[in-house]
Amino acid sequence: MRIALPYGLRRALTFWRRSIQARVVVSTLLLSAIVISAVGWLLLQQTREGLLRHRVDVVVGEVDATVAYHRDRLSAARGTEVNASTQRADLIDPIIETGDSRGYSVVLGGPEETDIGLSDGGAHRTSGLELTSVPARLEAHFDGRNRSTAWTYTEIERTLADGTTVSEPGIVVGSQVRLPADGQTYTIYFLFPLTEEEETLGLVTRALLTAAGLLLALVAGITWLVTRQVVTPVRMARRVAERLAAGRLQERLRVSGEDDLARLAHSFNQMASNLQRQIRQLEELSWVQRRFVSDVSHELRTPLTTVRMAGDVLHDARREFDPATARAAELLQAELDRFEGLLVDLLEISRFDAGAALLDVDDINLLDLAHRVVDAARPLADQRGVRVEVEQPDKPVRAQVDARRVERILRNLVTNAIDHAYPDDVDRPIVVRMAADDQAAAVTVRDHGVGLAPGESAMVFNRFWRSDPARARTSGGTGLGLAISLEDAHLHGGWLQAWGRPGEGAQFRLTLPRRAGDVVRHSPLPLAPVEALDLLEGRAAQHDVEDDEPDGRYRREDARQGSRDGGREPSRGVTS
């Protein structure tokens, strides 16, 4: 089941399939974007780590200096009489004031020997700072009587005057101080926000994104220009090749420079010149051949007429001769008839080759033509002991055709069927069928004779071709009948096709357009006979009954050389 795509998407897919330049540009952009993203991510990680490392070094140094200063101040006041509460205030208040001015917050934790700690609010701290800003893992570090300074990352939470809570990333540094007044050790937590580092990292990120966008645009432009230099000559070569294929053999590529593309253009032009020369030689040879056949055919008519007159005299007087001479006169008359028919066919072929064959179109009932042909061939059929029948179609089969040419086609097909039928086979007659639809009319001639071997249906329309060279022609044909019939069919814009299997007989199908000038797209009748389809259950014979238009355009040179089988579909000629 095929899914119908939107028109725009179909256009985009078609452009993608046909444009190598677009594929190269897009592929380069994707790869560049991946590389730039990876490099940018590494740069951001390095910048982030550098900023945080520098910030940690600064704040830890500042905390150590502050704590050392206040330790010295407390030691200097050791001999004075001050209670613990006052001494705690003297310790923490200056630190809080300094933190407010320098942009960091402070929390004073309770002494480690008591149950007063951060969890129950027993602490001095910066106004609005939430105690949850200090991670529990850092509290645990100092609960273990570890005296060293420690730090970690945290989320600093503050409660504003309107009651809302805000948070920001930061660094919390803890250090311990021993108060002389009560001999207890207190933990001071310094919370430094990372706002500046975030702003710096955001600035670097925006700069990298801008640079990446500009770099990708630059890469796209450069890639487009580079690929254009390569693709443009290729497109020119394609256009010139199409013109050469259309018959404009004088077309050539423009050569500029000495690079690989220039050498390719030079080689292409040499190839085109050689092809043009060879085609002209073939055309001249073909013209000479056609002229020779035409001239010989015309020149032979005069001596043939003289020989015919002498032969007629001998044939009329054969009863006066001895038996051997009388038989010779009869053989001479028969061969003269065949020779005269051969000359007529050669002249007709020469007219086709010269493109001088014309149609005299009229609206004709094909059934009348078929009856006329069968009636004329009945003596030959009686001589062979076979029957020829014409099936009555369901409706009249009429078409705008040249009656003389179509009658010649049917006569050749019926005579060929009689010639290849088994003698005295009265139980299996030769059957002529016909049918028509709105566009086309078709006539089939079915015999049950020797049939065609695999591949022979591709050669049956060749000139002077015979399936069995040792087999005599009952009708005395010239070997050009089917070739002329093929030309007549194509002159109408129709098909002439063959089907056959050894021992099963053969069937020829003529398909013509109902209206003169139309093109045949299908046939109202199958190429293979119905009984053959029933026998093989439609498997192998399915290839023989496809009614698609024959592959490729018909060329008169192909028909003369026998390289086609009369418009036969691909694989139809090789029967099995």
Q: What is the pLDDT of residues 65-83, one digit of tens each?
A: 998 988 888 887 666 666 7
Residue 31 burial by CB count (10 A; 0-12/13-18/19+): exposed, middle or buried? exposed
Q: What is the pLDDT of residues 334-348, one digit of tens each?
A: 888 777 777 777 777
Q: What is the pLDDT of residues 267-284, one digit of tens each?
A: 989 988 998 888 888 888
Q: What is the pLDDT of residues 286-332, one digit of tens each?
A: 777 777 766 776 777 778 788 888 888 888 888 888 888 888 888 88
Across 167-196, b (16+ Cβ under 10 Å) vs e yields eeebbbbbbbbebbbbebbbbbbbbbbbee
Q: How far apart are CA 188 and CA 174, in angstroms?
A: 6
| Both tokens assigned to 223 | 């890639």
Domain 359-561 - what CATH class? alpha beta
Cα three-residue angle 509-489-524, rounded to 5 degrees:
40
pLDDT at 544: 43
Architecture of domain 260-348: Orthogonal Bundle (1.10)
Q: What is the pLDDT of residues 221-239, one digit of tens each?
A: 999 999 888 888 888 888 8
Q: How far apart are CA 476 and CA 339, in angstroms?
A: 10
Residue 315 or 26, more confident: 26
Q: How far apart are CA 405 and CA 349, in angstroms?
A: 13
pLDDT at 374: 93
The pairing of strands 388-390 and 430-436 is parallel
Q: Of 78, 156, 154, 87, which is closest to residue 124 (Cα–Cα)?
A: 87
| Both tokens assigned to 140 | 């645990």
Query: What's the mean pLDDT when you consider all of the chain?
Result: 81
Residue 107 burial by CB count (10 A; 0-12/13-18/19+): exposed, middle or buried? buried
Give whole-number Cα distances, 157 to 126, 162, 175, 491, in Å.
11, 14, 20, 94
Q: How far apart are CA 530 and CA 545, in angstroms?
A: 10
Which range (190-199, 292-301, 552-561) has the least confidence?
552-561
Work out the angle between the directed axes of helices 195-245 and 20-76 (0-180°, nearest 10).
170
For residues 347 and 294, is the Cβ–Cβ distance under 8 A?
yes
Q: What is the pLDDT of residues 106-145, one digit of tens each?
A: 988 876 544 334 444 446 778 888 888 989 888 888 876 6
Q: Of 523, 530, 539, which is closest to residue 504 (Cα–Cα)?
A: 530
Could you say which of 3.40.120, 2.70.98, 3.30.450, 3.30.420 is the CATH number of the domain covering 93-193?
3.30.450
Length of the chain: 576
Whether the predicted pLDDT of 429 surpasses 80: yes
Residue 307 burial by CB count (10 A; 0-12/13-18/19+): exposed, middle or buried? middle
Q: How far apart are CA 298 and CA 308, in angstroms?
A: 15
pLDDT at 375: 92
- Confidence band, pLDDT 50/70/90 cuts, at residue 453: confident
pLDDT at 114: 42
Which range (22-36, 297-311, 537-551) has the least confidence?
537-551
Give the number of C-alpha atoms closer than 13 A to the C-alpha of residue 459, restricted to the C-beta side.
Answer: 11
| Both tokens assigned to 40 | 């940018």
Q: What is the pLDDT of residues 158-176, one digit of tens each?
A: 888 888 889 999 999 999 8
For 435, residues 6+ apart whose C-beta sits below 8 A from its C-beta are 393, 394, 397, 441, 442, 524, 525
Q: Is 490 left (phi over 0), alpha (psi -120 to 50) or beta?
A: alpha
Domain limits, the chain: 1-76+197-246, 93-193, 260-348, 359-561
Cα pseudo-dihedral 553, 559, 563, 567, rounded to 10: 50
Coil vs helix vs strand at 329: helix
Share of the chain above pLDDT 90, in %: 29
For 576, residues 6+ apart whose C-beta sits below 8 A from its C-beta are 454, 501, 540
Q: In what order do the strands lie in the sheet with 150-159?
A: 124-125, 105-109, 185-193, 165-178, 150-159
Give whole-number Cα distances, 63 to 151, 194, 239, in Å.
10, 16, 78
